[in-house]
Structure 1
Amino acid sequence: MEHQIDIRSEQEEITAIVRMAHSGDTIACRRESQFEICKRALVEAKLVGITIQLLDDDGYIIRQTSSKKRSQVNGPTFNDRQLAVIKALEKVLAHCKKEGISLIGYSDELVALPTSIAGTDLASAYAIDVYTSGCYRGADGIDSLLTQ
């Protein structure tokens, strides 16, 4: 079954929709904040087999996530240590947002900018290259990741 979240829906209503979903259901929303609420509610409810989609104004899927048990994932997966590192990175990124730092991918480089100037003509003058130890590749470098 597909559930559409109204653009005016608030957190409580969105959480209730997620909790009532069954395996195989799809929940579609149009706001980034609603997508994030759906993801958090899905994790908290520990539901399996639910797909959450973020749609653009034309109804195209621009982001999607599905819940699965670890045993359902085929192929190479992250080990527990790698998952802990990813969680730590997510915490660091949350701190970046809190402190007003935007991380922007320019070609194959990752740069940090004060959020207040991100997207302005001054951005490149204030950009600081982030040393990623070779683990970040921009869209231009995706082919090199696939051949490694």
Structure 2
Amino acid sequence: MHIQLAPDLSQAQVTDKLRQLNAGDRVHCFDVRQFNVAVNIIRGWRWANILVLLLGQDNQVIEQFKYQPKAQSSQQSEQLGRDRHLQDQEQVVQALEKVFAHCKQVGLQVVSFSDGLVVVPEHLAADPMALSSPEALGVNDYEAYTTITEQLES
């Protein structure tokens, strides 16, 4: 995947876009300032295997950057793993918050039902019968969602 950074994006908007990246992704910049902002963010996050490209008008690569971590002790590697895990958590929370904000905006409610999640129109969320009706759409959580009861039982 690649993302393009428009020259008029704020640093916060650039940060939001960069949070969507995964290893192997590319960032295309057409402005030196945006290129430098992206490079500084990637370097600060120490995200390896993200290629940041500064492209000219004809899409020719003018400059490129890819963060290369230094050789580290196992303790430093472990800390970086924890930091990366924290970054992943922050990205997931941010994505979920965007989804919930969108649900609120369009009048939908996400409800914990039985051992999963369902999405229903807001006006049906309080009706237990509606939660098992055709209006309730189940969410495929890929076994990433669990209830506290399930946690305590295992």
- Which TM-score applies when normalising by structure 2? 0.43
Structure index of larger Rg: 2
